[in-house]
């Protein structure tokens, strides 16, 4: 069997996937995961930029978070309308393509693809950041931990996961529950202790201010903080998955998710201010995440702290996991429109789109290695793709309402228009504020990928034209092929191949590549092939033995076939490769490669006249 | 073309490799590289263990290095004899197998394989350690740098390297030259300044002693320091490569290499003592390698310092590179004896043994990630394999002399026997001293790999027995196969496939998997296939169209073929797959996968009766 069963499981039958419909309670877990988990890195991303302001910087967390919450509210109303308009699921790619044309759709698709890669990289790195906060001795192993988690998630997804509601719901609720409890206790302590609560364990002292407050630094902090909004579009993509009335249930879910996210963002912003918690230098020893410091300050390092950190790690790893479910599906849709290689549309043996999974794992792995697994370094790349997709999707909705018309269309256009406007402004703010720190990478990548996609499409169109053949079969010079059967000794496998060769042509050549320790095939050939063939009166197949001094087998076969071709260039040649097929994955590496390597060599060196026939023999053990 | 030409180059013709013969001057560079580069990490490995002893520990560097130099001298005399006895190259695997039997040979082979993996991991990590010493700001990126270098070396080796003498010689001589100059100046300063030279830049202060001196800690330091001896066997492996008189030239090379290594080891040990240079904590910020501190203390941080560090990085990366040349060749030899999968004996399109390169890169990559790219954590795994191979090779030489007999045999036996004895003792010392720190990993791996190899061999033997067939072809029920040609539209590619199908059987079925956007194939089929076939009087091929709602193509084809098989289980079925072959690597990802995926699926779901025929069509652009 051709791929590792042990790791990725036995092949599955292609029965249709059954969709289990869910209600808002499960929906908050499944579709709220991405949005809610952003609270674990968004506020921290903003505060990290305020480090140079010292203690003074912390105070600005409140206005910055307020601005983000206003933005979030506008986007909320905008996506509420998408849910009603696209009951079949309104992903940015779909909405933009249907309403703004294929190019806008492709742009949204590219933005989303980049976004998914960053969801994986940031999700994992922020999760490891939480872990390192709890266990500082692991700090030097940040990158190794990130890569380890990436490998595990990749393998799980190659096996295929059904989105098991409960497994995702529990950590989401645990995460939100822990943070809400910590925030409430923090607020209660603040009230009881007259606005100046004493931390259970004091957070690390902030360094002195090295910079004065200025509009530029606040803009940058805002731009980084916007990453807290990533993932809010998930509910509107998944309307189909909700129980009837699905739009009503989806809307209720969206409302709850956004409300919870606002509570988290507001609570964190307020409390870091009260407790004087500033960000620590990311990627350096002594790093501790904001939430880790906050929970430690409010409740100390008891069991509650470790449960909270555990839930953060889990929720962030799971948010990476959702990208592994969505990225390959997006690639498939684009590949079916022939803008990506067809391979992305082929399901692997576990009914997952393996190519998409490999590509996502490789790209996010590269990002993690380049940026050392440090969230803060990845953040500047993040928001551009997400907010570009927001903008295109909501701009698409404006055109949708214009097309639909009817009462309320103007109001709907206004709501989505406002959403598109503020997110477009945010894209610009993020681009300007973060350009030199990494946003330029996204800016370069988007057009490069777009051009690549258009070139892929053009190539496929060109192949269709080049291979078009509105002409009948030519049946002149209709001779059977010369059939070459390479074999090293007489065996069941060779016997079956020769038998098959005899059914397809009267001209069969057995080919042995000999070296000092190869058994002599000639006596077997005479007794087991020539004799029975002559008895039934078929033309006698010939045996050719070629010596190869260094025990190289494949190249002499290829050379012989090319020689045959040179003698009669118009004649078809079929190379019949006897192939051992194993029933167990652990034999994969023991066989098969030689047949595959021979085929590859024949294709590299070969030409139109040379066909390859694989005759399998299945091992029973 | 099936692999990335851009990265690993166009396929090469299988002309024989020409061997350029070399003299001692080139030999010191090429074969001395491994041994000499060990001086960059061996002394440091010993000193790192002496950190807990504080300043007192540094004094022990002299006796420890003296012990290692004595060991090195014994091993030198032992290997001198191997050169004479094995003019064709006396690798440990060869010597042990010929003289001690196949099991001992296999054991030596496994020890060497582990050794090569560690040469790569330690070479790269120590090189990066030197780099980080010169540029401390890179310290947090240690692992990423290691992995980057590993990827570069892997790609270079997949392209194939001729061992370009000059490229290897120059860095080796530069490295040795720089270190010898630094040592000489250091000694001169010591003499001129009455034994207490003032460092140009003072080395970091040693921490206070936290442990008392004891035999155990000295033993551990000795065991770690022994890694300085790895690589000394390279000359005796490569006797064949020397100009005539090759054994004389090889011996002269070995003598020079060992003498230089002794100078380096003695010089470093003496001078760290004089300059009070102790190891710094590896993997932590502020880490600096011993050689970096030494050169800084003697000559400051001028241009000479940076040339030295550069030559260390280069020499260690090249020593990793030699493992990439040797590991795949060792795997090939073992694979030809059928103890490793046959794939290891197949040369890839660049005439390198690609599988061996992949495996080596993957294993050393895993080691680097697990141990965070920190040399000190890798050292305990290192010496076991190297010294085990030394022991087996020299023990083999003892039996060689006994077999050969003649005058001087007893003396030769004594020399090799002493070598075998002291290296065996060293293996035990290393095992005991380093067991808990990582040597246990090697101890567990060796038998595990051995068992795996024996199982591989047993499987191959079993396959030979299971497929043996001393019986003639059965030619009863000799019907031509049913031929199925899947196609989506009428094209040149499809036309060629149908034509080939008609030559191999009178019973041909065209198969289209339709969905809403597939063109209707029926009119083309009637006009371009049925009509011309009827005109020449051949049996008419049939067209079958199957609808697939979700645009899935492969599984319906497989299902149809299995259906056909069920109707007539004894009938052969050939699936002819029209396949587009590209002339350029960059089209690889655009085509080919569907044909490969279909073949894989047919093999997974299929059975003895189903053969696969690939009919290639070459794209001209």
Task: Give the position of tokens 């040592």.
Answer: B183
The answer to whether A304 and A298 are in contact (CB under 8 A) is no
Cβ pair A616:B603 closer than 8 A: yes
For the CA atoms of chain A, what is the radius of gyration?
31
Task: Out of B284, B347, B472, name the one closest to residue A531 (CB).
Answer: B472
Out of B460, B603, B608, closest to residue A2 by CB: B603
Q: Any CB–CB contact under 8 A between B594 and chain A?
A: yes
A400 lies within 8 A of chain B by CB: no
pLDDT at A38: 92
Nearest C-alpha of chain B: how many angstroms from A55?
Answer: 27
- Domain annotation covers residue A465: no
- Six token digits for residue A502: 């005899």
CB contact under 8 A, B144 and A590: no
Residue of A494, A528, A605 lying closest to B472 (CB–CB) = A528
Query: Which of A282-286, A343-347, A532-536, A579-583: highest mean pLDDT?
Result: A532-536
Asked whether residue A243 falls in the same domain as residue A386, the answer is yes
> Cβ distance B272 to B41 under 8 Å?
no
CA atoms within 13 A on the CB side of A267: 24
Nearest chain B residue to A465, by CA? B491
Query: Could you tell me the CA-to-CA distances from A365 to A371, A376, B47, B333, B342 in Å, in that order?
Result: 10, 16, 36, 35, 31
Q: How far apart are CA A411 and CA A388, in angstroms?
A: 23
Residue at B578 is within a domain: yes
Does B11 contact A at CB distance below 8 Å? yes
Portion 325-344 of B in contact with A at CB < 8 A = 336, 341-343
Q: Is residue A240 part of a domain?
A: yes
Q: Indicate the pLDDT class of residue A592, thresholds 50, 70 and 90.
A: low
Edge-to-edge strand ranges of the sheet holding A542-547? A542-547, A508-514, A482-486, A573-581, A610-618, B610-618, B573-581, B482-486, B508-514, B542-547
Query: Residue B331: its chain A contacts at CB < 8 A?
Result: none
pLDDT value of position A2: 37
> Are A86 and A204 in the same domain?
yes
Residue of B nearest to A464 (CA): B491
If asked whether residues A331 and A442 sit together in one domain, one would say yes
**What is the DSSP secondary-structure string of B426-443?**
HHHHHHHHHIIIIIHHHH
Mean pLDDT of the residues in chain B? 86
Could you report the per-residue pLDDT of B427-451, keeping only the tens digit for each? 999 999 889 888 898 989 999 999 9
Q: What is residue B613's three-state secondary structure?
A: strand
Q: Is residue B155 part of a domain?
A: yes
- Mean of the pLDDT values across residues B517-543? 88
* Contact (CB<8Å) B613/A574: yes
Residues B389-406, mean pLDDT to the nearest whole number: 91
- Out of B372, B464, B475, the one facing A141 most closely (by C-beta) is B372
Say whether A503 and B480 touch across the interface (CB within 8 A).
yes
Nearest to A528 among B459, B471, B500 (CB): B471
User: Tell me, what DSSP letter sits at residue A528?
Assistant: I
Range of the domain at B258: 26-459
Cβ contacts (< 8 Å) between A462 and chain B: which residues?
Answer: 621
Sorted by sequence, the CB contacts under 8 Å of residue A346 that are 6+ apart come out as: A353, A355, B554, B593, B594, B597
The residues, any chain, with a CB within 8 Å of residue B164's CB and separated by 6 or more, are none
What tokens appear for B162 in the block? 């001729």
- Same domain, yes or no: B534 and B455: no
Q: What is the DSSP letter of B301?
A: S
Chain A environment of B285 (Cβ under 8 Å): 285
Query: Is A423 in contact with A70 (CB distance < 8 Å)?
Result: no
Task: For residue A475, list chain B residues with Cβ-Cβ distance below 8 A.
Answer: 499, 502, 532-533, 536, 538
Q: Chain B contacts of A14, Cβ < 8 Å?
A: 552, 555
Q: Do A331 and A357 form a contact (C-beta atoms < 8 A)?
A: no
| Option in A348, A494, A599 nearest B614 (CB) | A599
Give me the residue from A502, A503, A603 closest to B2, CB to CB.
Answer: A603
Domain boundary, last residue among B428, B459, B490 = B459
pLDDT bin (cut points 50, 70, 90) of residue A127 is very high
Task: Look at residue B588 in the predicted model and tell me its pLDDT.
Answer: 62
d(CA B189, CA B207): 26
Secondary structure letter of residue B364 according to DSSP:
H
pLDDT reported for residue A211: 80
Say whether both A528 and A440 belong to one domain. no
Give A36's pLDDT tier (boundaries 50, 70, 90).
very high
Contacts of B493 in chain A (CB under 8 A): 467
| SS3 track for B534-588 | HHHCCCCCEEEEEECCCCCCHHHHHHHHHHHHHHCCCCCEEEEEEEEECCCHHHH
Among the residue ranges A217-231, A579-593, B498-512, the one predicted with the least confidence is A579-593
A405 and A554 in a single domain? The answer is no
pLDDT digits (tens, 9 = 90+) for A159-197: 766 555 567 788 889 999 999 999 999 999 999 988 888
Q: Do A478 and B597 touch (CB under 8 A)?
A: no
Residue B465 included in any domain: no
State which residue of chain B sits closest to A339, comparing Cα positions. B590
- Chain B residues lying within 8 Å of A574, measured CB to CB: 500, 504, 613
The B residues from 14 to 33 touching A (CB cutoff 8 Å) are 14, 16
Contact state of B551 with A580 under an 8 Å Cβ cutoff: no
Chain B's closest residue to A453, CA to CA, is: B590
Give me the pLDDT at residue B259, please: 95
DSSP type of residue A520: P
- B 532-561 near A (Cβ less than 8 A): 532-533, 536, 538, 550-552, 554-555
B409 shares a domain with B273: yes
B274 prior amide bond cis, ω within 30: no
Mean pLDDT over the full length of chain A? 86
Under 8 Å between Cβ of B83 and B239? yes
Chain centroid to Cα B399, Å, comes to 30
Residue of A nearest to B499 (CA): A473
Give mean pLDDT, residues A474-500. Answer: 87
Domain annotation covers residue A7:
no
**Which CATH number do you get for residue B312?**
1.20.1740.10
pLDDT, residue B4, reads 40
Is A459–B587 a contact, with Cβ atoms under 8 angstroms apart? yes
Question: What is the pLDDT averaged over residues A602-615?
Answer: 85
pTM of structure? 0.74
Check pLDDT > 90 for residue A512.
yes
Position B349 pLDDT exceeds 60: no
Any idea which residue has 């196609």 for tokens? B487
- Name the minimum distance, in Å, from the CA of A62 to any CA of chain B: 33
A151 contacts chain B (CB < 8 A) = no
Identify the weakest region by mean pLDDT among A119-133, A216-230, B160-174, B363-377. Answer: B160-174
A 475-494 residues with CB < 8 A to B: 475, 478-481, 490-494
The answer to whether residue A566 scores a pLDDT higher than 90 is yes
The whole-number average pLDDT for the span B272-296 is 90
Considering the domain architecture, whether residues B164 and B288 belong to the same structural domain is answered as yes
- Looking at residue B16, its pLDDT comes to 39
In sequence order, what DSSP letters do the residues of B488-551 get, joined into one string?
SS-BHHHHHHHHHHHHH-S-EEEEEEE-TTSPP-HHHIIIIIIHHHHHHTPPPPEEEEEE-TT-
Q: Is A371 helix (H, G, I), strand (E, B) or coil?
A: coil
* The pLDDT of residue B57: 86
What number of C-beta contacts closer than 8 Å exist between A and B? 270
Q: Which of A143, A336, A481 sits opposite B143 (nearest CB)?
A: A143
* CA distance to partner chain A, nearest, from residue B62 (Å): 33
Tell me which chain B residue has its CA closest to the CA of residue A528: B472
CA distance A504 to chain B (A): 4
Same domain for B125 and B189, yes or no, is: yes
pLDDT at A149: 93
Assess contact for B345 and B332: CB atoms under 8 A: yes
In a domain, A8, yes or no: no
Q: B2: pLDDT confidence band, cut at 50, 70 and 90?
A: very low
* Chain A closest-CA separation from residue B180 CA (Å): 35
In b/e form, how buried is each residue of A491-514, taking b as 16+ CB within 10 angstroms?
bbbbbbbbbbbbbbbebbbbbbbb
pLDDT, average across residues A505-519: 86
User: In chain A, which residues have their Cβ closer than 8 Å to the Cβ of B11?
Assistant: 604-605
Residue A222 has pLDDT above 60, yes or no: yes
**What confidence tens digit (pLDDT) does each residue in A390-437 have?**
999 999 999 999 998 888 889 999 999 999 999 999 999 999 988 988
CA dist A492 and A489 (Å) reads 10
Torsion of CA A444, A448, A449, A455, to 10 degrees: 170
Same domain (yes/no): B82, B117: yes
- Interface check for A177 against chain B (CB to CB < 8 A): the answer is no
Mean pLDDT of A259-274: 94
Residue A476 lies in a domain: no
B617 to A467: CB separation less than 8 angstroms, yes or no: yes
d(CA A491, CA A615): 13
Residues A557 and A508 reside in one and the same domain = yes
Residue B607 forms contact with A (CB below 8 Å): yes
Domain count for chain A, please give it. Answer: 2
- Residue A392, number of CB atoms within 10 A of its CB: 28
Q: Provide the chain A residues 195-254 that lie in CB contact (below 8 A) with chain B.
A: none
H helices of A490-620, in order, are 492-504, 522-524, 531-536, 554-567, 593-605
**Same-domain status, B454 and B489:** no
Closest partner residue to A603 (CB to CB) among B456, B480, B616 is B616
pLDDT(B171) > 90: no
């Amino acid at each position: 069997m051709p791929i590792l069963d042990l790791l990725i499981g036995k092949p599955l039958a292609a029965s249709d996937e059954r969709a289990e419909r869910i209600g808002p309670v499960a929906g908050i877990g499944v579709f709220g995961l991405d949005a809610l988990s952003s609270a674990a890195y968004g506020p921290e991303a903003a505060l990290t930029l305020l480090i140079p302001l010292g203690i003074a910087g912390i105070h600005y967390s409140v206005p910055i978070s307020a601005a983000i919450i206003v933005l979030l509210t506008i986007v909320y109303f905008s996506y509420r309308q998408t849910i009603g308009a696209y009951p079949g699921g309104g992903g940015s790619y779909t909405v933009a393509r249907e309403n703004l044309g294929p190019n806008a759709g492709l742009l949204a698709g590219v933005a989303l693809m980049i976004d998914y890669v960053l969801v994986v990289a940031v999700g994992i790195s922020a999760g490891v950041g939480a872990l390192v906060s709890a266990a500082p001795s692991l700090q030097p192993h940040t990158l190794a931990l990130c890569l380890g988690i990436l490998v595990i998630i990749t393998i799980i997804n190659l096996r295929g996961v059904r989105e098991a509601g409960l497994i995702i719901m529990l950590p989401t609720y645990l995460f939100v529950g822990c943070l809400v409890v910590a925030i409430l206790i923090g607020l209660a302590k603040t009230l009881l202790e007259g606005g100046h609560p004493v931390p259970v364990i004091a957070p690390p002292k902030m360094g002195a201010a090295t910079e004065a407050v200025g509009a530029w630094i606040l803009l940058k902090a805002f731009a980084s903080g916007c990453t807290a909004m990533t993932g809010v579009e998930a509910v509107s993509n998944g309307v189909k998955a909700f129980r009837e009335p699905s739009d009503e249930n989806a809307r209720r879910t969206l409302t709850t998710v956004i409300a919870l996210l606002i509570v988290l963002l507001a609570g964190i912003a307020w409390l870091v201010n009260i407790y004087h918690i500033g960000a620590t230098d990311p990627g350096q020893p002594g790093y501790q995440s904001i939430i880790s410091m906050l929970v430690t300050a409010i409740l100390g390092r008891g069991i509650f702290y470790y449960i909270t950190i555990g839930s953060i790690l889990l929720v962030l790893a799971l948010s990476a996991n959702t990208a592994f479910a969505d990225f390959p599906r997006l690639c498939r849709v684009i590949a079916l429109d022939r803008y990506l290689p067809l391979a992305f549309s082929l399901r692997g043996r576990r009914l997952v789109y393996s190519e998409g999974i490999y590509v996502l794992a490789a790209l996010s792995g590269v990002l993690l290695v380049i940026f050392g697994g440090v969230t803060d370094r990845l953040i500047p790349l993040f928001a551009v793709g997400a907010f570009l997709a927001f903008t295109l999707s909501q701009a698409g909705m404006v055109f949708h309402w214009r097309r639909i018309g009817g009462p309320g269309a103007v109001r709907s256009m206004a709501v989505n228009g406002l959403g598109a406007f503020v997110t477009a402004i945010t894209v610009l703010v993020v681009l300007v504020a973060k350009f030199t720190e990494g946003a330029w990478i996204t800016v370069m990548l988007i057009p490069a990928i777009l051009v690549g996609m258009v070139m892929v499409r053009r190539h496929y169109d060109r192949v269709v034209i080049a291979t078009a053949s509105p002409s009948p079969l030519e049946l002149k010079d209709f001779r059977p092929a010369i059939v070459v059967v390479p074999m090293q000794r007489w065996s069941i496998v060779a016997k079956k191949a020769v038998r098959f060769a005899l059914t397809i042509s009267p001209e069969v050549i057995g080919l042995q590549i000999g070296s000092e320790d190869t058994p002599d095939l000639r006596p077997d050939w005479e007794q087991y092939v020539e004799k029975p063939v002559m008895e039934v009166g078929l033309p006698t197949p010939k045996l050719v033995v070629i010596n190869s001094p260094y025990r190289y087998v494949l190249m002499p076969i290829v050379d012989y076939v090319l020689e045959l071709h040179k003698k009669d260039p118009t004649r078809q040649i079929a190379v019949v490769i006897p192939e051992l097929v194993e029933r167990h994955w652990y034999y994969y590496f023991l066989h098969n490669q030689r047949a595959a390597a021979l085929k590859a060599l024949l294709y590299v060196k070969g030409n139109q006249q040379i066909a390859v026939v694989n005759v399998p023999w299945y091992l029973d053990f």
